[in-house]
A and B are shown apart, each in its own frame.
Chain A
Amino acid sequence: MESLNKNPTDEALAKLVQNGEIEKFGELVERYGKKLERYGRKFLQNSNSLEDLVQDVFLKAYKNIQNFNPDRKFSSWIYRIAHNEFINELKKNSRHPFAFIEPDLLALHPAVENTVSDLEKQEMRQLLESSLESLDQKYREVLILYYEEEFSYKEISDILTIPVATVGIRLQRGKLRLQEAYKRIETYGSNGSKKRQ
């Protein structure tokens, strides 16, 4: 039985919480606390209230846990709550309006998820580390979720509630933009002045 299992899955733990074993929710907090903080730090870049935001994510998750379907992945579900919370935080601090409909949401071609080598992942993580700030938020989020958090296209589609094909397109474009941004920083430096050879 799942409840007797020493290392139950996230979904099994969530089910136990749904059935009234609320103490088990603490275990989920422990499993995802650091991950969500890391995601939030990358996503928001600068936020003094990150700890409070992560706490709010867990409180919302607890409040709505009966809406979680244990047949699906808990990680996608809690990341979706976190993503919405972080987006709201960005909206609060941004003067620019968020687009209602992005053209890439119309993408029709099915996204083919390629296998990515560990080396490529490592390279992309380094690029993300150095050039993340220069990217649009819509590219930043898919790149972080794919390379840093190691979610699949389908899981990212569930987290961001966008079509799987759009995830593929944003990932492809995001990678290109990231490489361009990196080259720019290499040539001109982060303050825009050309580096001495």
Chain B
Amino acid sequence: MDQTDQKNGNNNTLGLRREIMEKIKHGEVRMRSKAYFIWQALAVAAAVVLLLLLAVAIASFLIFVLHASGRIFLPSFGWQGWRLFLLRFPWLILLLIAALVVILEILVKRFAYRRPFIYSLGSILAVILVAGIFVGQSSLHPVLFNQASENQLPLAGGLYRYFEQENLEEIHHGIISNINQGGFTLNTKEEPYSVIPNDQVMLDNLYNGDRVFVLGEESNGQIHAFGIKKVGKDELFRKIWIPGQGPNMK
């Protein structure tokens, strides 16, 4: 750069300084107060907390629905179970959680951009998953479900009732009676069905009065079962509602 260029450059900068300072002095641009930025940061932090709570609530609801509907047992019954699990999975709820995770990641990245994207995303997913499982296993959702059944839950009541009333053709809940070598009767909230298990299904540990999820298609009052899952008293899903009776808190 020769001397003339340098001189021109200096003149340009001085001109720029003059123009900017004039705009500032004439009030064309005003400095935002410190309080503005503090409130902005607080608003973002509050949004992160609220969205995280919402995501945890929805994730725990998803876990509750998977357990309560019996979908969770499907993958343990081979490829047929997996196919049904993927087919009947409440994808919309998962999509909603994914959308919340994306929004959370965008907000968190404002402060935590220095570390790789995968760290913040991993942390968000871990918090949602751990807290979701924890809340999903608590008695919160069965209690809310009960309130929703009695029309005492104004906001999310419809959501619980939707999943109570949804008809999963291949999953049947009920109580066993008339057990014999060829099968048993399953008393459900709609009507009793005659359950005929296939060759791979063992009836050894099943007794009259047991609560079970029976997996298989129903036709003419008969269910051809490819899987039966007993719902034990001490198991995680002990708080699952019995259709027509509300949550069973035994």
Contact = CB atoms under 8 A, between A and B. Distances in A.
Interface stretch (B8-16, B56-64, B214-222): B8-16
Given A25-B24, A26-B17, A26-B21, A164 B114 contact: yes
A36 B32 CA distance: 23
A165 B31 CA distance: 35
B29 interface: yes
Given A25-B24, A34-B9, A66-B31, A163 B115 contact: yes
Interface of A is mostly: helix
Given A66-B37, A161-B109, A105 B116 contact: yes
A34 B7 CA distance: 12
B13 A29 contact: yes
Interface of B is mostly: helix
Given A162-B113, A163-B116, A23 B21 contact: yes
Contacts of B233: none
Contacts, number: 81
Nearest to A154: B114
Contacts of A166: 116
A30 B17 contact: yes
A106 B113 contact: no
Contacts of B113: 157, 161-163
B183 to A, nearest CB: 53
Interface residues of B, number: 27
Contacts of A165: 116
Contacts of B110: 161
Interface of A: 18, 22-23, 25-26, 29-30, 33-34, 37, 51, 54-55, 58-59, 62-67, 101, 105-108, 154, 157-158, 161-166
Given A105-B116, A154-B114, A158-B114, 8 more contacts: A26-B17, A29-B13, A37-B12, A62-B20, A63-B32, A66-B36, A67-B32, A106-B117
